[in-house]
Amino acid sequence: NDLDFADDAGPDVLRVTLDRADCTTSLRDLAGGSGSVARIEGDRLVVERSGLDFPNGISGDWIAETRAGRLLGPSGPVRLPGGPDNLGAAGGRLIVALHPNLARTGLYLNGWLDRLPSRIVAVEPQSGSVDVLYDDPEGEQFSGATAAVLAGGRLVAGSARDAGLLYCESPGGPRG
């Protein structure tokens, strides 16, 4: 579902999240713990970690575990106010798009709901502090954010279904 170059192993090594055991939804997914993180080195794939609850993002040593509502990393798990999706890094922090209600997210992604909340946070990995950067509880302005980046005081987000991109200028100037 997400990928990141493994900085410690050179430019040709890629780490990927495999959010479920099969290419389609299966009973194993409903039970949880069928996801994994793999390392691709040339034509070799090595599973680094398994038993994850829908790993949906990766940045460095950090993994977004959507169904568990947390990030996993070297300093332990960080609980989040929603299920994390893709991860980005900015200024030593992780920028995370969250799904506040996973049941509603499933309905939205399958076209059964027209709008979905968007929440984007910045996580300080060492302390575990979480700062809300953007929150649209009804998805009125931007619906169902799935990925976000922060750079030069600008927050940009994408969605699996909403049109266009969310673009916000920080009134305080560059922070990311």
Compare 18 and 100 and report the one with higher pLDDT.
100
- Helix (H), strand (E), coil (C) string for 91-125: CCEEEEEEECCHHHHHHHHCCCCCCCCEEEEEEEC
Kindly report the pTM of this predicted structure: 0.86
Q: How many CB atoms lie within 10 A of CB 155?
A: 22
How far, in Å, CA of 41 to CA of 2, rounded?
A: 16
Count the neighbouring beta carbons within 10 Å of the beta carbon of residue 106: 12
Question: Greater confidence, 21 or 33?
Answer: 33
Residue with more model confidence, 31 or 162: 162
Report, as an integer, the average pLDDT of 119-134: 95
Task: Determine the pLDDT at residue 176.
Answer: 46
Per-residue pLDDT of 61-110, as tens digits, reads 999 999 999 999 998 999 999 999 999 999 999 999 999 999 999 899 99
Lowest pLDDT segment from 34-43, 84-93, 147-156: 34-43
What SS3 state is found at 67?
Answer: helix
Mean pLDDT (whole number) for 132-151: 95
Q: Which pLDDT value is given to residue 10?
A: 64
pLDDT at residue number 175: 46
